[in-house]
Amino acid sequence: MYRIRKLDGKESDQFLIFAEVNQKKKILIFVDWYLPGYKAGGPIRSIANMYSQLKNDYDFRIVTSDLDLHETTPYSTVISDRWTKGPDGCDVIYLSQAKRNYKEIVKIIKEERADFIYLNSVFSKVFTIFPLLARKRHFPVRKVILAPRGMLGQGALQIKSAKKKIFLAWMKVTGLCSTIRWHASSTSEEEEIKKVFGKNASTKVALNLSEGREIKPVKKIKKQGEMKIAFLSRISFKKNLEGTLHLLAKTSSHHQIQFDIYGPIEDAMYWSKCEAIISTLPQHVKVNYRGAIANEKVAETLKNYHFSILLTFNENFGHSIIESMAAGCPVIISDQTPWRNLEKSLAGWDVSLQDENKILKVLQDAAEMNDETYNSWNQSAQRFASNIIFHPESIQQHKELFS
């Protein structure tokens, strides 16, 4: 393999050429949060899984903040502002607040000379806009891949829609995204990208990688008329916990429902609304807020539940959905995710948020399952998850993404 390089860091049409034989391509990843953080959920897992699955093929370097989501105190286990090894062994630089600026981003891109710059958000100032501006002004030949992580879906764009419309219009006018490649995690996300940035936007569909771990059968006891449901996600408007609580309030009093909520409170005002609903729920629905949960504890925690629920307004992948099924929890989700026709596979249900009666029927059917029927769904959910986690094309799709 040959790479085109120059000496002074200012890229133009004149280069020196260095022969670099059999050297891994370097991928410089910018992401707002990374391990040991866990409160940001999916984006962290997407990058951690990418590194885990592809580290033998590529040289990954990660630029991130030294804080977890909504935290003000840096991680106690990392050293800020210098390259170090993350918990998973990847090379990471955790930027302190003082270093999260445009000048530092330019410096890192110049020094690292990566084959690809990989971005993980549309709306991040430091970890998306600064790299895009730096590339446009100083490094125009650097290849950039941007993963929108569901931020261009209709449900996501409806949140603070005015600001997002102005911002996206600015991105298009300035041409920041005119020569990048978009990483779509599904064909539906590819359509979302092209709807916003035009049909000629360069896209590549590559299913997000899941943690490549063994899925062990989980036998659970399920009494007819009773069920334990887990909600595992950030507590924000997009995840629609409020709507879920309203629906649980309308379930039959003949059923006993335990509903446990796991996830960081991203929006305090939104959580206050949810708490107000919880205080009015009927006696047959018991709700507990269990707080945020570290990634390594998710699988073991989910084994204690019959089902998980995520009636989200938009999800480009949904790591918690796959993790739930892998733990033997059939899922109750909206039709705003890539996972469709789940009922045919006995892996769960994907339902329209507009069809309240259908969702209530699903909750009733789930509660009415006896032990034998439930464990048939339990096993089917695990098989469905296994087919996703060990999908033979997923690795190849990512290699094509970085081609």
A 10 A CB-CB count for 23 gives 11
Dihedral (Cα; 168, 171, 177, 182), 10-degree rounding: -20
Confirm whether 218 is domain-assigned: no
Return the structure tokens found at 17: 């050429």
Q: pLDDT by residue (tens digit) across 138-179? A: 999 999 999 999 888 877 787 788 899 999 999 999 999 989
DSSP code of 128?
I
pLDDT value at position 16? 40
Which residue range(s) make up the domain with 44? 2-210+391-401
Do 153 and 265 share a domain, yes or no?
A: no
Confirm whether 217 is domain-assigned: no
Confirm whether 43 is domain-assigned: yes
Confirm whether 215 is domain-assigned: no
Confirm whether 220 is domain-assigned: no
Residues 255, 364: contact at Cβ < 8 Å?
yes
Do 131 and 34 share a domain, yes or no?
A: yes
Return the structure tokens found at 213: 């771990």
Confirm whether 16 is domain-assigned: yes
16-19/2-5 β-pairing: antiparallel
Do 104 and 199 share a domain, yes or no?
A: yes
Confirm whether 277 is domain-assigned: yes
- DSSP lists the bridge partners of residue 265 as 235
Do 34 and 180 share a domain, yes or no?
A: yes
Confirm whether 221 is domain-assigned: no
Do 148 and 244 share a domain, yes or no?
A: no
pLDDT value at position 22? 53
Do 107 and 197 share a domain, yes or no?
A: yes
For residue 232, what is the domain's CATH number?
Answer: 3.40.50.2000
Distance CA 367, CA 386 (A): 25
Distance CA 192, CA 206 (A): 15
- DSSP lists the bridge partners of residue 94 as 64, 80
pLDDT value at position 388? 87
Do 197 and 244 share a domain, yes or no?
A: no
Q: Which of 137, 76, 70, 74 is nearest to 105 (CA)?
A: 137
φ and ψ of 111, to 5 deg: -75, -35
Do 251 and 189 share a domain, yes or no?
A: no
Do 129 and 142 share a domain, yes or no?
A: yes
pLDDT value at position 157? 82
Q: What is the pTM of this model?
A: 0.82
A 10 A CB-CB count for 59 gives 16
Return the structure tokens found at 59: 């040289």
Do 84 and 48 share a domain, yes or no?
A: yes
Residue spans of alpha helices (H) in 147-253? 154-157, 161-174, 187-197, 241-248
pLDDT value at position 17? 45
From the number of C-beta atoms within 10 Å of its C-beta (0-12, 13-18, 19+), residue 288 rates as: exposed
φ and ψ of 79, to 5 deg: -105, 125
Digit-by-digit pLDDT tens for the chain (403 residues) are 444 444 444 555 444 444 444 589 999 999 999 999 999 888 899 999 999 999 999 999 999 999 999 899 999 999 999 999 999 999 999 999 999 999 999 999 999 999 999 999 999 999 999 999 999 999 999 999 999 998 888 777 877 888 999 999 999 999 999 899 999 998 889 999 999 999 999 999 998 888 777 788 888 999 999 999 999 999 999 999 999 999 999 999 999 999 999 999 989 999 999 999 999 999 999 999 999 998 889 999 999 999 999 999 988 888 899 999 999 999 999 999 989 999 999 999 999 999 999 999 999 999 999 999 999 999 999 999 998 888 778 889 999 999 8
Give the total number of structural domains in the chain. Answer: 2
pLDDT value at position 4? 46
Do 54 and 161 share a domain, yes or no?
A: yes
Do 17 and 158 share a domain, yes or no?
A: yes
